[in-house]
Structure 1
Amino acid sequence: MNTTVTTTTISSKKPLTKQEIIASNVKLLIEQLEAGHSEALTSYLTAMSHFHNYSFGNVLEIARQMPTATRVAGFSAWKQLGRFVKAGSKGIRILAPIVGVRRKTDEEAAKTNPAYPNKPVLVGFRSAYVFDISQTDGVDLPEMREVHGDPGDSIDRLAAFLKSKGIQVVYTEKIAPALGMSYGGRIAILPGQSKAEELSTLVHETAHELLHKAERRTATTKTVRETEAEAVAFVVGKAVGLVTGSASADYIHLYHGNASLLAESLEVIQQTAAVILAALEPPIAAEDSVATEARERAEVAA
């Protein structure tokens, strides 16, 4: 869909801080939503489903600079995978951490074991560049673990995750016409849904269980809570290959002109979706994912 949107220019003279980049992208999203471009949020949520291990600020940057990106890595990481960045490709700028070493004070040194190393500390951030797989050529990569229209074992894995958290899942027709309900420690699901619908509903209610209790429940409205839960279901559904609809245009009204509320919700949506997606991964795949992500981050920081 062709749309005209307002863009926020990032100056190359003075590097922006992480918070400035987040604020800039949130402002851009609000401008797009206020102009009626609800697909802007859909684009962001779609990107989030691909990049749930990236920081909030970097997810925003990836979605803003290349909404169609599906798998990104640094130049060296692609080279190690047998692929090479095409000449003339424009990198996606993200923030990479700068890690230094905080030396112990004389007082600390006197109290600790001399063999204990100095602690690494976050000094700041620098610009780094990653490239989407569409910008590369080379050997074919293994297909990413996705489920196209069929959740497979995802429902069972999510149920096991909920059980480990002490959250009971029951199936009952008493909640009709609702598809699911969250009661704080207990989730009810309407039987008879397709497997894809069942997973989406279970993810939605899981988001309520993880997000909307205690202080956060009293500090948010029902509309905000339902929208956050639906957004988490959208992100997770996209990530496992389910066919999902567009993000609701109600976001335009829900977050109208409120940058802080939008930023807060997008961040908790990302964090909650990441927790659920981790629970849906097979044990071996989860270990491989962590190792791969650590390697790619090291390459970006190099």
Structure 2
Amino acid sequence: MRDAKLDELHERLTAAVEQLVTGEDWKRALEFAARFRARSFRNTLLIFAQHEAAFQAGRVPGPVPSYVAGYKQWQALGRNVRGGEPGYRSFAPVTGRFASSTPLDSGSWRRLDRFEKPKPGEVVRSRMVGSKAAYVWDVALTGGVPIPERPTVAPLTGEAPDGLWEGLVALIEAEGFAVRRVPDAAAIEGAYGLTQYRTRTVSVREDLSSAEQAVTLVHELAHVRMHGPDNEDGTRHRGIREVEAESVAVMVAAAHGMEATAPSAAYVSDWAATVTDKSPVDVVQETGEKVRNAAGAILDAISTVQAGTGDPPGLTRNASPPLERAGRALAPVAEPRPASASTARSVRGL
């Protein structure tokens, strides 16, 4: 039964990925993920697709959920799922207990049976060993104790939120890079921003609005952290690198109520197909998870007013088994080519 449910869930996920046709479709998925970034990218895609279907069917009042949680989690918050509501199916981890008397030896760990106790002196740790199907419900599908309104961020056009630029500069400087503003595009090869690994500098045009400068700086920070010559992913296909950096910028911008344009690749299939030994569906999922991890690390490290993570206030993870959170992101295999000495955010990237 579990295998059948997982097969169905993977089919749902594949269908959700295949709906991401254009750059704008990808952007919408990223903006949604920015508001539910506590969950893995594949789970946000599943929730995104199922909630949209519920909205089209008139089961929920709006096209975007506000908070989602599991059945017991809602009960712990004083709310109950309405009768007959099936919920949104998603992945949840299956964990196992492992024991070792020499924990530094990776080959020494053995899995414990369900009721087996460790031997004296053994260290016990839990690991994810698989996935199972689980359900979450939007708050609109529940009733009970009122839940505070979800925090919102006011839409911004030309101005960046307080503290964003300074926070991003601090993160870039912590990586050993200097940030400089340049007069215009002519100073940096016609681009909006430019990261130069040899000189360890990040340049951004000062003739842009403060919001555009901040979004560009996020893009360059993504390059610094994800695509440098010393990074194992730094040699991957340039098209994928640009999509990743632009996508991180979209997520961070969305979390601050700012608008960022869709990644410059017109069709998702174009850049997903550049990884030749994986299916486009797998590449999209893996790229999305890598982007989510990178954007989440940036958002967690800066003190700015941000949209919430999608969890209802007061949620405790002990109320039910946690939904899948991000583990180690799997990156598409790199092409055998050297990393560029610099990366630029092009005009078409905005």
- Per the alignment, residue 265 of structure 1 pairs with 287
The CA deviation at 1:171 is 1.0
Identity among equivalent pairs (%): 26
Does the 8 A contact of 1:27 with 1:259 survive in 2? no
The CA deviation at 1:119 is 2.6
Q: 2: distance between equivalents of 1:281 and 1:299?
A: 29
Q: 1: distance between equivalents of 2:179 and 2:235?
A: 24
The CA deviation at 1:200 is 0.8
The CA deviation at 1:145 is 6.2
- Partner secondary structure for residue 118 of structure 1: strand
Does the 8 A contact of 2:218 with 2:249 survive in 1? yes
Amino acid across the alignment from 1:210: R
1:255 aligns with 2:272: yes
- State the TM-score, normalizing by the size of structure 2: 0.66
Deviates most, 247-256 or 169-178: 247-256
The structure with the largest helix share of the pair is 1
Alignment of 1:160-199 (within 5 A): 160-173=170-183, 174-175=187-188, 177-184=190-197, 185-199=200-214
- State the TM-score, normalizing by the size of structure 1: 0.75
1:14 aligns with 2:29: no
Q: 1:133 aligns with which of 134, 139, 143?
A: 139
Deviations 1:13-69 (A, max 9, x none): 71327xx95686346523652xxx655423321221122221233223222322523
Alignment of 1:50-199 (within 5 A): 50-67=35-52, 68-104=64-100, 114=120, 118-137=124-143, 138-141=145-148, 143-144=150-151, 146=153, 148-149=155-156, 150-173=160-183, 174-175=187-188, 177-184=190-197, 185-199=200-214
Amino acid across the alignment from 2:227: H
The CA deviation at 1:189 is 1.0
- Per the alignment, residue 242 of structure 2 pairs with 226
Does the 8 A contact of 2:9 with 2:90 survive in 1? no
- Partner secondary structure for residue 125 of structure 1: strand
Does the 8 A contact of 1:72 with 1:131 survive in 2? yes
Does the 8 A contact of 1:128 with 1:301 survive in 2? no
Q: What is the alpha-carbon root mean square deviation over aligned residues?
A: 3.8
The CA deviation at 1:198 is 1.7
Q: 2:225 aligns with which of 201, 210, 224?
A: 210
Greater RCO, 1 or 2 (C-alpha within 8 Å, sep 6+): 2
Q: 2: distance between equivalents of 1:120 and 1:170?
A: 46
Q: What number of residue pairs does the alignment pair up? A: 280
Q: 2:319 aligns with which of 296, 299, 302?
A: 299
- Partner secondary structure for residue 204 of structure 1: helix
Alignment of 1:274-293 (within 5 A): 274-281=296-303
Does the 8 A contact of 1:201 with 1:233 survive in 2? yes
Unaligned runs of 5+ residues in structure 2 are 53-63, 103-107, 111-117, 274-278, 323-350
Unaligned runs of 5+ residues in structure 1 are 1-10
